[in-house]
Amino acid sequence: MDLLGELVAALGPGHVLTGEDRARYASDWTGKYRGSPLAVVRPADTAEVARVLQLAQATGTKVVPVSGNTGLVGGTMTEGGLMLSLERMNRIRSLNPAARVAVVEAGVVLQKLHDAAEAEGLYFPLWFGARGSAMIGGALSTNAGGSNVLRYGSTRGLCLGLEVVLADGRVLDLMGALHKDNSGYALKDLFIGAEGTLGIITAAVMRLVPCPRAHATAMVALPELGAALDLLNRLQEATGGTVEAFEYMGRNYLERLAARRPDLGLPFATIHDVTILVEVGATAPRDATPGPDGALPVVDALETAIAALMEEGRVLDAVVARSEAQRRAMWARREVAAEVSFDRSPLVDTDVALPLDLVPEFLTRMTARLAALDPGATELAIAHLGDGNVHYTAFPSHGDPAHLDAIRAAVDAEAVALGGSFSAEHGVGLSKRGSMRRHKNRVAVEAMQAVKSAFDPSGILNPGKLLP
């Protein structure tokens, strides 16, 4: 029996997709990366994933895992390989409110885990715009960040244990729910952010946190970006370190938002150069219980801190959400960023990380650098400013591939020159392999290649991704 026949025998005929049935998997969300997989296989459990990999290993067939397919860097593209979809492995195996952990399969959509945690008065704090379609396996494989990294950390920080199927079909059980385990190499952390190049993540133990009893959310206009770090530090002091999100939206982003999505409105009558969306989450009853006047202490604390900064001239304007509807409206303006950024082409989308105090310097340098490279280009910048993650998008005047590569190289070079990284939360995939070659420490690359060879000596797991 040939490979496809063996796969049908193992998974069932409805779960080995060929021909036109592959179409919705073959292109990623951006539409930039379009592949042609041999087939799409959809295993129902870990044993079936193991069987797929045993067959792939025996036949030398490359395997590319795919979850929600919401990535932006071409991490799931394949020509002639098997796409291994985790969508059927979508069970929350258990949720332990006392220990505040959930055991979930890789195909669980983030929103499903959000809802399950909320039903127990808890919160899964990995939060970003694609949460309605992104899956746990993909978030782990790229070490996704999102808006709440400032308080809760990235996906790696939220993961206590993993179940991984290795290239030869063996199952690596690292599913402990321990907060401390010093019994050798931290193997779990190797697979998080590895983009499926070392093994297929099939399940995970994820950490939950207390659900905020109340939020204080505001849009704040600043005279210049350099004032943002002082604002963040002052708000952290005023709220006891409970700032959950601190999101930057530049003038160029808000102008495009107004043109692309006028239905969402703008935070102020005037578009300012620097607008910050800040949110504080209160878990203590003392901060979330309304006073005699109906005001929430957490909202009062945020307002008082912002008012003091306005008196000092450090804040130009501010509006505080007075209802859940107003809060959601503020977030809607931020969470359509991908839609606003990808609404035209050609474009160069990037995802860099900077030291917190050097984000303004990076953006100043990039404005000048882009003008020198392409006087007809425009730019757009947003950021998870609390953790230094900048999403800088350039819209060149023409789409020559070499020109686009030169712009990407310039963005990466400026970030690295300031002590930053060319990849913060989206992964490396195909689009940043050149950046890995140019900027990653040579010894670090050699060590990663050695790890890849140890776990996948035949090179069948998502080949051509991540490593230069």
Give the model's confidence band at 295: pLDDT under 50 very low, under 70 low, under 90 confident, else very high.
confident
- For residue range 171-196, what is the model confidence (pLDDT) as tens digits? 999 999 999 999 999 999 999 999 99
Mean local confidence (pLDDT), 379-399: 96
Class of the domain covering 3-87 = alpha beta
Residue 72: which pLDDT band, with cuts at 50, 70 and 90? confident
User: In this structure, is the dihedral angle defined by the CA atoms of residues 103, 107, 109 and 115, taken in order, positive or negative?
Assistant: negative
Q: Which two tokens stand for residue 415?
A: 């970030």
So what's the pLDDT on residue 49? Answer: 98
Is 80 exceeded by the pLDDT of residue 443? yes
Query: What's the pLDDT score for residue 130?
Result: 85
Domain boundaries, the chain: 3-87, 92-210, 214-337, 344-426
pLDDT category at 342 given cuts 50, 70, 90 is confident
pTM for this predicted structure: 0.92
| pLDDT for the residue 70 | 83
Fold of 344-426: Alpha-Beta Plaits (3.30.70)
CA-nearest of 220, 172, 223, 221 to 194 is 172
Model pLDDT, residue 75? 87
Per-residue pLDDT at 344: 86
SS3 state at 186? coil
| Helix (H), strand (E) at residue 282 | strand 274-282
Query: What gap in Å lies between CA 217 and CA 194, rounded to an integer?
Result: 35
Choice between 64 and 28, residue whose per-residue pLDDT is larger: 64
Q: Do domains 214-337 and 344-426 have the same CATH topology?
A: yes
Mean per-residue pLDDT for 348-363?
96
Say if residues 197 and 88 touch (Cβ distance below 8 Å): no
Reported as a pLDDT band with limits 50, 70 and 90, residue 74 is confident
Q: What is the pLDDT of residue 309?
A: 93
Check pLDDT > 90 for residue 140: yes
* Element containing residue 287 per DSSP (H, E): helix 285-288
Q: What is the mean pLDDT of residues 104-133?
A: 94
Query: What pLDDT shows up at residue 1?
Result: 66
How far is residue 64's CA from residue 398's CA, in Å, rounded to a whole number?
32
Statement: residue 303 has pLDDT above 80: yes
The CATH code that applies to domain 214-337 is: 3.30.70.2190
Pick the closest to residue 111 from 144, 89, 136 (CA basis): 136
Please determine, for residue 30, whether its predicted confidence score (pLDDT) is greater than 80: no
Whether residue 29 has pLDDT greater than 80: no
How many percent of the chain have pLDDT more than 90? 89
CB atoms near residue 73 (< 10 Å): 25
At 228-269, the pLDDT tens digits run 999 999 999 999 999 999 999 999 999 999 999 999 999 999
Q: What is the pLDDT of residues 191-200, one digit of tens each?
A: 999 999 999 9
CATH number 3.30.465.10 is the correct assignment for the domain at 92-210: yes
